[in-house]
Structure 1
Amino acid sequence: MNAAKGGAMSKGSVSKRPTIVDVAAHAGVSTAAASKVLRNAYGVSPEMKAKVQASMKALGYRPLASARGMRGRTHTVAVVVADLHNEFSSLLVEGIRRECERQRYRLLVAPAGSGKAAQDRMVEDLIDRGMDGIVLISPLGTDAELETMATNTPIVVLGRHGASQEFDSVAADDFAGANLVVDHLVSLGHRRITYINHTTEGTNDARLPEEVRVRGYVDAMIRHGLGDAIDILQSQWSQEGGEQSGKTILSRPQRPTAVFAGCDVAAFGVLTALWEAGIRIPDEISVAGFDNIFTTSLAPISITTVDQSGLDMGGTAGRLLLERIGGRTEAVNTVVQPGLVTRKTTAAHNHLTIDAASGPAPNVSAKV
């Protein structure tokens, strides 16, 4: 019986061509790492390269012709996004989708989560799956790393500042946008203006929107002679981060007369904390956001914010990506000018004079 069974299995067996997954398992590395060795991608150590190449030889692995770049276009592109909870990300994605639909391309939305390692794994997977091009929303990493990605597939960087000759970019003038908010609040007589910033663990990239916006806030405060009143809360641009920031503000013996949250989602969190504490907005504290997501315009909320045309930014990124896929080689770097949208959460305060006995607001950068 055993012999008959063995003979049947031998007769019906088919030699399976080894895949990159088999190579990775044999070498004891991730599929993404094995793929990077195969493509001679940036950041592969000599040890890793030798290990993976030894496994390729041992298994008799040969990449398919399609994997060596001989296949045609898939007419599919991807957008890598870290934060799907932020409604502004949805605006960007929708703008890309509309442009792709207009030019009959399919769009794959790839949620990468937080952190550079997760982002890099997602990009590697998308390249391996034959995307014709990729849009990266506020990606982490150096210019050199992004330029290496661009040698493998066309990419457009959306939201991150800084021009490159190897890839296209689309960003709002976040510095000018932050200036607009501070100028508006100062024009209403506010002097104690707290800024809610976003802290990304493991990075301090000066080209990310959060870093540019906080510089815009500081610049405007100094320009108005309020350098001693600079007050930055390091938090997270999320509902939870905004709520915690609001509670921190409420715990202070001297509260600001205005709060500028670096994005609308955080502004909603701040408003929630203040409303639950019975603070009247804007009579006691004015609140402003940044992004102009749809919910800020709803009548019961009506948040003052900065409009950076998310749909247009996404549409521009989609158009530039498809142009790259179509053969354009020269880099295009686009900066979108923002505008201030004044609504009901900001107004002149009734008690604007700083008490000389208590002094100005502290010049701090507290983390909440």
Structure 2
Amino acid sequence: MSTQDGRAQAPKRATITDVARVAGVSRGAVSKVIRDAYGVSPAMRARVEEAIERLAYRPRTAARALRGSGFTIGLALPVFGNDFFSQIVLGVNETLAGTGYRFILAPDTSESSSSHTLDALADREVDGIIAVSPMVSTDWLENLARYVPVVVIGRHDMPAGYDTVNGDDAAGARLVMNHLLEQGHRRIVHLTGDYVQVAARPADPHSIRSVVFREMMLSAGLVPRQVTTAADPAAIVACVRDLLAGDEPPTAIFAAHDFLAIHALRVVATSEPRVAIAGYDGVDIASHPMISLTTVDQRGVEIGRTAATLLLERIKGRTTPARHVSTPELLIRRSTAPDGATG
């Protein structure tokens, strides 16, 4: 192709609109095929793939280049009541203030719905997505990131096409275990959610904490004991009551996150002998003097700010992957003090 004055002109790059026109489908349908999303018929997939090949279409990571920006970001969150997620939302909101961007909160209704939630955000043609602990494969996320900028919080992936933001979960778990072991505890239970599958999800923060717990117990010559529970207050309370009623009740509980720890405190507050409780996340209520929970501060607001900053960079065109890991801090309080005094 050449201009009127004879100079060579680069061929026009095909857009998702071109693919949709040639395939005779909507742009949303093309998006679903590109991302291998749920609900695409074989016939539709064949038409779209044929159009993609015919036009030599390549999805752009910066989806804004394919359409006018809606100045909207999708924030996908798990639904259970963990105040750590509220800290993340606050950090995202602080960073987006004054940028012209707004965000849509999209809670998952179950583990199996993560892909549907992210698909729904992409189909709304948001400018970017921040996903907190999505229960989908790395390949699935890489495919999504071909079409829309993505930042993932709470997964220690090694991505090529998206960014990750995490606390140093291995270091944080070591802080907790060193603290409990130095206090002389030998019957330590790791209380975690029933979603933990160490072999299946080695990059999951809770899996990493579980591995560190096991390794440190074995290194100390102790028997590691991990107990899982649903993330429901009644289930947590029942689980902890069963633990304390057993033949060898724990002297300390390392809870995978503060939501678990705070509900465990409801049970151990009146137990004899006293049971130490340590949590993880550093939610605001943990510092309340009536709770005084020892916990690992992940700096959730900072994580939210960082994720939003990285996503804005992605939207502007950065394509190299970024991995941010924040340094955790152990906040020692009354819940693990030997005599119950404020530590």
TM-score category (smaller protein): 0.7 to 0.9
1:292-351 residue CA offsets vs partner (Å, 9 max, x unmatched): 10110000110000001000001000000000001111110111111100000002379x
SS of the residue 1:144 aligns to: helix
2:114–2:136 CA contact under 8 A, matched in 1 = no
TM-score scaled by length of structure 2: 0.80
1:17-52 residue CA offsets vs partner (Å, 9 max, x unmatched): xxx9xxxxxxxxxx9xx9455542243699823167
Q: Distance in 2 between matches of 1:38 and 1:104?
A: 25
SS of the residue 1:195 aligns to: strand
- Amino acid across the alignment from 1:259: I
Q: Distance in 2 between matches of 1:235 and 1:248?
A: 11
Residue among 121, 131, 139 paired with 2:116? 121
Residue number in structure 2 paired with 1:300 = 290
Residue among 42, 48, 66 paired with 1:49? 42
The change in CA–CA distance for 1:40 and 1:52 in structure 2 (over 3 A counts) is: closer
- Number of equivalences: 302
Residue among 131, 135, 160 paired with 1:165? 160
1:191-211 residue CA offsets vs partner (Å, 9 max, x unmatched): 110110212289931211211
Shift of 1:70: 4.3
Give structure 2 stretches of 5+ with no counterpart.
1-19, 21-25, 48-62
Q: Distance in 2 between matches of 1:239 and 1:47?
A: 39
Q: Distance in 1 between matches of 2:64 and 2:283?
A: 43
Shift of 1:239: 2.7
Q: Distance in 2 between matches of 1:292 and 1:309?
A: 7
Residue number in structure 2 paired with 1:314 = 304
1:196-230 residue CA offsets vs partner (Å, 9 max, x unmatched): 0212289931211211111111122123232xx21
SS of the residue 1:345 aligns to: helix
SS of the residue 1:136 aligns to: strand
Give structure 1 stretches of 5+ with no counterpart.
1-19, 21-30, 55-66, 351-368
Residue number in structure 1 paired with 2:82 = 86
Residue number in structure 1 paired with 2:101 = 105
- Amino acid across the alignment from 1:133: G
1:246–1:271 CA contact under 8 A, matched in 2 = no
SS of the residue 2:228 aligns to: strand
Name the % identity.
31
SS of the residue 1:40 aligns to: helix
Residue among 224, 239, 243 paired with 2:233? 239
Q: Distance in 2 between matches of 1:90 and 1:261?
A: 19
My pick for the range that moved more, 229-238 or 41-50, is 41-50
Shift of 1:236: 2.8
Q: Distance in 1 between matches of 2:214 and 2:39?
A: 45
1:86–1:238 CA contact under 8 A, matched in 2 = no
Q: Distance in 2 between matches of 1:217 and 1:73?
A: 46
Q: Distance in 1 between matches of 2:167 and 2:218?
A: 22
The change in CA–CA distance for 1:115 and 1:309 in structure 2 (over 3 A counts) is: same
Shift of 1:74: 1.0
1:36–1:44 CA contact under 8 A, matched in 2 = no
* Correspondence 1:265 to 2:255: no
* Correspondence 1:338 to 2:328: yes
Q: Distance in 2 between matches of 1:201 and 1:296?
A: 23
1:178-201 residue CA offsets vs partner (Å, 9 max, x unmatched): 111110011111111011021228
1:134-186 residue CA offsets vs partner (Å, 9 max, x unmatched): 00000112111000000110000001112211000001111111111110011
The change in CA–CA distance for 1:179 and 1:135 in structure 2 (over 3 A counts) is: same
2:37–2:119 CA contact under 8 A, matched in 1 = no
Residue number in structure 1 paired with 2:56 = none
